[in-house]
Chain A
């Protein structure tokens, strides 16, 4: 994973871990890898990973069990809400830029419809 070193790393980790949860890379109710392992995998400071996971806990997306470790919430509604939140953020970004380019809502919607099935934008086809 590439980080933008010009903004706090922990916030970028919150985004990355959220993505893993909503895409099912970390399935609902499953155990999250240990802080050290994640730090090693991502090449970041363990305390930064800890800070990101604590934020996800605060948001109710994951929970700690004293001895067993940390788990993704088993509440599928919460994960759905997180997915909706991330999607809304992505759409907001798109709308802002499309407006900036002078597009109308109809034009933007037609463009989304056009691009939706394009193989370049299909994550299953690989980036």
Chain B
């Protein structure tokens, strides 16, 4: 029996973009009667630092959790490095949730062991280098640390997987400006040139000069996306001002 070529083999706009490291089509996630993501489309290339911006409840965290493979219950098509969501996509994604998933009483050294056991791509030497960059003692317990120190410990772990995609959910909120700068510096230094970093944040100002592009979300959809320098040139304004314009209305 011969197969006849179908229309789907032609260029189909509903198909995900193979060139993108992360490609999302028509992604919908519902919590009961509330729609958190509403048919969202997105393509993110490798080698970029992307700011995921938007008000509380716009779907940023849900999008990151879904990309991290934590919500099996969704509609739409997601590809990460060509893989559908599942063990293969999870293997190339390092996700830092907005709330700590590590045991409070644990010492940092124990967390290093955990990551070593859990993730084949964990680079312990890199984590130790980051911890020392942040002047953190691996013998300390998480609960003995300030909020800024805890955030630095989490970043050190998450950024030390040799992943292709890093998803950080509000990594610098609740941290003082000096610690924010130090955390961003650590992230920028550790990021491989061909990986993708997506940072969800409402602190646009702190990330102004660090980002390649932004994705602004509202009501579970993408409102605006683009290269940050192009947006600045186009609007004659800073990201923070553009953000206010977009969400002020």
Contact = CB atoms under 8 A, between A and B. Distances in A.
Contacts of B240: 5
Contacts of A45: 49, 188, 209-212
Contact of A10 (B229, B237, B239): B229
B229 A9 contact: yes
Contacts of B14: none
Contacts of B236: 6-7
Interface string B215-249: 00000000000001110110011111100000000
Contacts, number: 58
List 6 A-B pairs, minimum CB-CB distance, nearest first: A5-B238, A8-B229, A44-B209, A5-B208, A6-B238, A8-B233
Most buried by A among B184, B205, B228, B237: B228
Contacts of A7: 232-233, 236
Contacts of A27: none
The SS class assigned to the A binding surface is: helix
A48 to B, nearest CB: 7
A43 B209 contact: yes
Interface of A: 3, 5-11, 36, 39-40, 42-48, 51
B138 interface: no
Nearest to A1: B209
B208 A39 contact: no
Nearest to B205: A5
Interface of B: 47-49, 181, 184-185, 188-189, 193, 205, 208-212, 228-230, 232-233, 236-241
A111 B58 CA distance: 57
Contacts of B205: 5
A36 B47 CA distance: 13
Given A8-B232, A9-B229, A45-B49, A3 B208 contact: yes
Contact of B209 (A3, A11, A36, A51): A3
Contacts of A9: 208-209, 228-229, 232
Given A6-B241, A7-B232, A43 B181 contact: yes
Given A8-B229, A40-B188, A48-B209, 5 more contacts: A9-B232, A45-B49, A45-B188, A45-B209, A45-B210
B193 A46 contact: yes
B189 A5 contact: no
- Chain A CB within 10 Å, residue with most, of B48, B49, B209, B238: B209
Contacts of A48: 209, 212, 229
B95 to A, nearest CB: 22
